Amino acid sequence: MAKGGAKSRWQQRQARDAYVHSAARDGYRSRASYKLLELDRRDRLLRPGLQVLELGAAPGGWSQVAAQRIGAGGKVIAVDLLPMQPIEGVVAIQGDLEHAEVQRQVEAVLGESRADLLLSDMAPNISGVALRDQAAAAELAFLGLEIALKHLRTGGVAVVKGFQGEDFPAVKTEYATHFDRLRIRKPAASRAESRECYLVAHGFRSQ
C-alpha cells in the first residue's frame, strides 16, 4: 500500500512539473535537458566541434542537448549501464565505466585525442538513508574525476553531479586540486527540495 502511495505521489508530482511538460513539448527525453541548457548558458560549456564524454547518459536528455550544440563536427560519447535509444551524433556505449572493456571502447571512439568536455549526471539508487545516499553520490563524483584523469584533455572542462552533505567538501577539494576554477551550480530545473547540485570545473590540469 505504501509503495503504491509513493508511486501515486511521484505521478502527481510529474503531472504538475513544468519541466516535464516542456520536455514533452520540445522533444527532449527528460526534464534533465533543461539543467544542461542552463549550465551551458551560464558557463559556456558547449560549442561546435567539441568531443564530449558523457557519463550516466540514459535516457539521453543531456546527450540531445550536447549533440545539438556541438554539431556535425563534434562527437558525443554517451556511457550508461542502461540501454539508450539512438541519437544522431551520439555514440552510445552500454556498460560499467569501471570495467576495462568499457574503458577500451571509450578509448577506441576517442582515438588519439582526449575529450574536451566531461559531463556526468550519474546518481545513485536512493535508499532513503541520508548518510548512505550521500556517500554513494560522493563515490560517483569521485568516479567522474577518475574518468577525467584518464580521458579529459589538459585545459578541458568537467560538469559533474554532486549532493550537498557530509562528503561533499571532500569532493569539492579533490576537484579543486585538478582544475583551475570550480563553481557550484544548482539549476532551476533541479527540484528545490533536492540536495543535488553540479560541480562546474574549468581548466583541467592533467597529470
Look up residue 34 and give its amino acid: Y
* Spatial distance between the Cα atoms of 17 and 108, rounded to a whole number of angstroms: 40
Q: SS3 of 48, please?
A: coil
DSSP string, 140-202: HHHHHHHHHHHHEEEEEEEEEEEE-STTHHHHHHHHHHHEEEEEEE--TTS-TT--EEEEEEE
Q: SS3 of 1, please?
A: coil
The vertex-125 CA angle with 124 and 129, nearest 5°, equals 95
186 is catalytic: no
* Spatial distance between the Cα atoms of 153 and 206, rounded to a whole number of angstroms: 7
Catalytic residue among 7, 161, 172, 186: 161
Catalytic residues: 161
